[in-house]
Amino acid sequence: MDTQLTLGPVLFNWTADAWRDFYGRIADEAPVDVVHVGEIVCSKRLPLIAEHLPEALERLTAAGKRVVVSSPILVTTERERQAVRDLLTIDGVTIEANDTGALALLAGRPHTVGPFVNVYNEGTLAWLAGRGADVVTLPGELPGDAIRPLAAAARTLGVAVEVQVFGRLPLAISARCYHARAHGLHKDGCRFVCGEDADGLSVDTLDGEPFLTVNGTQTLSRRYLSLAGRLDELRNMGVSRFRLSPHSLDMVEVARTFRAVLDGSLAAAEADALLAERIGPEGIADGFFLGKPGADWVGTAA
């Protein structure tokens, strides 16, 4: 089975220079096979990175990476619908559909399906495959017991299954902007305050307990998912692609850690320890994969 390490799109509102430099370093140094680019959370952010997008695509392609342009998660206006249609005119890249509108536009041509399209059963997987999907990224909250039959069905259908194995997990998307509201602002006059939090804004409960993370209109997990210790288990299920979600920590080192585990040169327990050290007090989690609360951490034996 052809195993690939992929990098999902940047979810956060980084400065244009930081965004450009991030993809330049990924192109030059990261041992990943596939790289996703595009603004998928908030259409207001797209003009901030638009001038650097062609350079990023060119540089990543020249470095031998397969480039995938990801479509927005929630499309609500005609301007946003046109932006999705414009993605289909980009030459030499694959498009990832992250909502049903993009699926309709991509029907009949090869494409991938992102984790924001709910795929919970074999029937949905077969329907997507019949419309041209060749890669399907499963939702992050699926436990291993649900991933296994989907991966088995995918082999029959000739579809590759991808699972996120690192980074804060996307949990929900809304038309409202939580970031703006937290700063006493409206969505239309948000002043791009989400840019103040490179990895999202931490949210506590009324009792002061760590709870979630918000990123503009998006809700994410507080802890960082790490399935470094479950890669062999996932491969044995038939999962062939493993997604890392970008954050402001050193993603080249994160990619090297996961690559070393896939190659068998780094023990899973050691990888868990390295990742936990890099992330710090926010911590790592693997609960969803084990059918437990998502914030739980079980890990693997040494």
Q: What is the pLDDT along the chain (302 residues), one digit of tens a residue?
A: 689 999 999 999 999 999 999 999 999 999 999 999 999 999 999 999 999 999 999 999 999 999 999 999 999 889 999 999 998 888 888 999 999 999 999 999 999 999 999 999 999 999 999 999 999 999 999 999 999 999 999 999 999 999 999 999 999 999 999 999 999 999 989 999 999 999 999 999 999 999 999 999 999 999 999 999 999 999 999 999 999 999 999 999 999 999 999 999 999 999 999 999 999 999 999 999 999 999 999 998 54
**Which of 288, 275, 221 shows the shortest CA–CA distance to 249?**
275
Per-residue tokens: 234? 């996932």
List C-alpha distances in Å: 173 to 116, 228, 286: 9, 26, 22
This prediction's pTM: 0.96
- The per-residue b/e assignment along 262-286, b for 16 or more CB within 10 angstroms, e otherwise, is beeebebebbbebbbeebeebebbb
